[in-house]
Structure 1
Amino acid sequence: MTILRTFPDPIELAAGTPAGRDRALDVMRIGALLGVVLGHTVMAASVIRDGVLIWDNLLTVSPVLAGLTWIFQIMPLFFFAGAAACLDSWRPGGDWGGWLMKRCTRLFRPVFYYLGFWAAALLVLHPLLPRHVYEPIAGVSTQLLWFLGAYVLVLATMPALNRITTTGRLFAGVAAVYGLIAAVDALRLQHPALMPLGYLNLCVWLIPAMFGVAYRRNLLPRRTAAVTALGLLLVDLALVWFGPYQPSMVGTGDHQLSNTSPPSLLLAGHAIVMSALAICAAPAISRWAQRPRVWWLTAIGNSGAMTLYLWHIPVLLGVHLVFDLLGLPRYPGMPHFAAISVAQVLIVVAAVAVLFVGLRPLENNPLPGWDGPIVASPGRGRAAGALLVTAGAATLVAIRWGLKDDGLNAMAVMLAALIGARVLVAAPGRSPKG
């Protein structure tokens, strides 16, 4: 579906949508990203104490909210929908690097603008803010890019994901990843020195991707999916009740064993539950998405999904910083907590809506020097694919520091790898252009 520069009429949009389009995947994709945006907005807490910005999470103070993350941790749905949507474009034996470059072109297009904004903003803020206020902001600025790194690495495995052609292969693949994560968790919990092994558990995002492929190929009956979801939910409950895992399915920043950074066995089970439930719910979601107004909101949202995802963080940080500097922090135990919370959420939602309308074209219009024809020989294509994998890995490394310290070096590697990949797949004798 062509993305228009102005919002189309709902009836026109519905009429122009191909009859075979799986609208459920579009709903899941934008629903997952909106869930992340709203979750960050509602859960964020901050206060400046003794010249130090404390950026916190309300989940650290409320077991009830931690329990709700079992419903609102829906990021697996993005990997589920993304793998399912990309499956049809992959051809076995095709140019892997060229295919991956096509997927990454739009994915990273708004990221260049985003990083440019933060480079300018941090240059301005560095001399204006105390060191221990500036550094937390620089650290949080690019943390959400973890998703891009993980998603690129998952897409890079499409040749292997494409081999999931039977229910048996699906369960074998999921069991292999789940077993690996279980083994890594056992090692790192028994031997603290092996804690860095936990980052191997980033393979957890292959689980929803495998289920997405299975969904696209109708490999898993809904009854079987429902039984699978129930079984893994019971396993997850047992892991929390009898094991060392925290109940929160998102990071809490309290330095206990996290389920997300790095991922844990509990998150692996949750990914299975969410993916299986997505298969169960897909027919109902598809019927709901047939409504012109619902489909209009879904399509418009997806046309600027990365805009929503990226730009809510600068808005959120900016609103919190202004309130904190005015002596009106949103932090548990501080005066007027409820009123400030409502005000901040409303301001963030309004500001993000305005940015969505204004910046959405940057996500859809070609970026000179980045967009352009993709032509590569097998050798150059493989090299470009390897550089894109390097960019994904560097992005995951960079989020530990954000745009400071070693995070700057990792981000430089990411950018160099992206540029190198683009040069390799450019048409001979031509530089990439819009």
Structure 2
Amino acid sequence: MSVVPSVAVVAANTPADRDRFLDLLRISSLVVVVIGHCLMLTVSVSGDDVRFGNVLADLPALQPLTWLLQVLPLFFFAGVAAGARGIAPGTSWGAWLFRRTQRLIRPVGYFLVASAALVFAAGSALGPGWQRPLAITSVQLLWFLGMYLAVLACTPPLAAWVTGTGRMFAAVAVIVVAAGTVDVVRLGGGPAEVGLLNVAVWLIPAVLGIGYLRGLLPRRTAAAVAFVVLLIDVALVLVGPYETSMVTVPGQRLSNLAPPSLLLAGHAVALCCAAVAVAPWIRRLAARPRVWWLTVIGNTGAMTLYLWHMPALLTVLVLSHLAGGDRVGPTHQGFWQLTAAQLGATLVLTALAFLALRGLENTPIRWWDGSVAPVRGARSAAVLFAVAAAGLAILQATRGGLTTEGLPWFAVAATALLGARLLTRS
């Protein structure tokens, strides 16, 4: 078990200029995502046919809740805003990026090895029908890590560009217009692959995060923008071609998440601006000793929390199946009682995994976590390219998971990260 400092120790070690708003926003958004995953996943078993589904597909009336549960834009916003503090004139972009990559990637290797072992064990015990669904679902959540790495790789040039309010809103407008153009092509029968261009939507929270850090987004302006964009998003759903759900649901004509859509772009703008508008209240909440203690502990193991909630959830689902209690869907008797029981069990297992494995996230790996050279010029640009390539490869790998379709992409990501490490060696 990792050592957890006391409330007093955490308070004493907190710098006076720490922006607690960003820290609380970052960990709370991650917790909401974890709970959302636990609530939405369903299991249908018929002989050797095993399928993981989504409760939102069976009960569409719940889909508007995803406007509250899809809060990953807030994590990107807070993460980039906090990290961009370290980017100043003369900063080595490659070194800045790789130092953040070191911390993010450190616990992933342990997670992948453990996930592969769990998938093999569960498949062997339950039958071949479980192997592929578990192999894909167990690592599907890594799409977030891949996208976050790609966004971080773009953060230094964005920080160089976003030096004024006009430039900030111009950058957001360009991304929004591009997303809308891509959607027009997709809805008009164009190739589905063009939708991949919309991954740029995840740069919106980064741009706004940099703007917040530099005082370019006043609270009143943020509140007005959030309100107007929310109304536009509602109109896009009511009279436009967009689905209600902010997460992917089977049977959708156009997913809002994978790849992102114009609706998600608007959602990101509205969420981030709304957060800025209420920042003083969030900051006051974070100033409470117990809340701040939980915030700090959570953030020091954020990747552990995010990674290990899925193995915990899948373990609960498998054990529930063995006990004769599959969580099939909301139309089945006892579904909500089973949901509550499984959610509680998953949160307990996740908490235990967090306490046991958080130390791995904070323990440097000798070669990987060695000193980082202040690379410049082409070498620095190569580091940005390598990390971005690794992120996009991880994003692609999650489609196939721990199968022959996904493993080659994981190998590509590992190779790119190895290249970034070699480029930044002192």
Answer yes or no: same fold by TM over 0.5.
yes
Q: Measure how far apart 1:168 and its partner are.
A: 0.7
The count of corresponding residues between Structure 1 and Structure 2 is: 423
Contact 1:28 1:78 in 2 (8 A): yes
Aligned twin of 2:345: 347
Task: Determine the C-alpha separation between the residues in 2 that align with 1:410 and 1:152.
Answer: 15
**Alignment partner of 1:53 out of 46, 50, 54:** 50
User: What do the CA deviations read for 1:5-58 (whole angstroms, capped 9, x no partner)?
Assistant: 522221231122111000000001001110110001112111211311110111
Q: Measure how far apart 1:342 and its partner are.
A: 1.7
Aligned twin of 2:75: 78
Task: Determine the C-alpha separation between the residues in 2 that align with 1:183 and 1:57.
Answer: 29
Aligned twin of 1:432: none
Contact 2:116 2:135 in 1 (8 A): no
Q: Are residue 89 (structure 1) and residue 86 (structure 2) matched?
A: yes
Q: 1:28/1:377 Cα in 2 relative to 1: closer, same or farther (>3 Å)?
A: closer
SS state at 2:45 partner? strand
Task: Determine the C-alpha separation between the residues in 2 that align with 1:87 and 1:115.
Answer: 29
Contact 2:155 2:206 in 1 (8 A): no
Task: Determine the C-alpha separation between the residues in 2 that align with 1:348 and 1:187.
Answer: 41
Aligned twin of 2:303: 306
CA RMSD of aligned residues (A): 1.6
Q: Measure how far apart 1:73 and its partner are.
A: 1.2
User: What do the CA deviations read for 1:120-171 (whole angstroms, capped 9, x no partner)?
Assistant: 3334345444333210110112111111111111111123221212111111
SS state at 2:53 partner? strand
SS state at 1:261 partner? coil
Q: 1:377/1:291 Cα in 2 relative to 1: closer, same or farther (>3 Å)?
A: closer
**Alignment partner of 1:257 out of 235, 254, 259:** 254
SS state at 1:399 partner? helix
Contact 1:376 1:424 in 2 (8 A): no
Contact 2:123 2:129 in 1 (8 A): no
Q: Are residue 403 (structure 1) and residue 395 (structure 2) matched?
A: no
Q: 1:86/1:377 Cα in 2 relative to 1: closer, same or farther (>3 Å)?
A: closer
Gaps of 5+ in 2: none
User: What do the CA deviations read for 1:58-104 (whole angstroms, capped 9, x no partner)?
Assistant: 11122332111111211100010011101111133432222111010
Aligned twin of 2:207: 210
Contact 1:188 1:195 in 2 (8 A): yes
TM-score in terms of structure 2 length? 0.96
TM-score in terms of structure 1 length? 0.94
Q: Counterpart amino acid of 1:215? A: Y
Contact 1:376 1:426 in 2 (8 A): no
Task: Determine the C-alpha separation between the residues in 2 that align with 1:338 and 1:236.
Answer: 30
Task: Determine the C-alpha separation between the residues in 1 that align with 2:385 and 2:419.
Answer: 10
Indicate the larger mover: 304-313 or 46-55: 46-55
Task: Determine the C-alpha separation between the residues in 2 that align with 1:212 and 1:77.
Answer: 9
Aligned ranges for residues 28-47 of structure 1 at < 5 Å? 28-47=25-44
Task: Determine the C-alpha separation between the residues in 2 that align with 1:136 and 1:229.
Answer: 39
Contact 2:94 2:375 in 1 (8 A): no
**Alignment partner of 1:119 out of 116, 120, 134:** 116
Aligned twin of 2:373: 375
User: What do the CA deviations read for 1:172-226 (whole angstroms, capped 9, x no partner)?
Assistant: 01000000000000011002x4221111111111111111111111112111111
Indicate the larger mover: 269-278 or 214-223: 214-223
Aligned ranges for residues 377-392 of structure 1 at < 5 Å? 377-378=375-376, 379-392=378-391
Contact 1:92 1:159 in 2 (8 A): no
Q: Are residue 220 (structure 1) and residue 221 (structure 2) matched?
A: no
User: What do the CA deviations read for 1:233-260 (whole angstroms, capped 9, x no partner)?
Assistant: 1110110011121111112233432110
Task: Determine the C-alpha separation between the residues in 2 that align with 1:197 and 1:129.
Answer: 39
Gaps of 5+ in 1: 428-434
Aligned twin of 1:422: 421
Percent identical residues? 46
Q: 1:381/1:220 Cα in 2 relative to 1: closer, same or farther (>3 Å)?
A: closer
Q: Counterpart amino acid of 2:412? A: V
Q: Measure how far apart 1:376 and its partner are.
A: 5.3
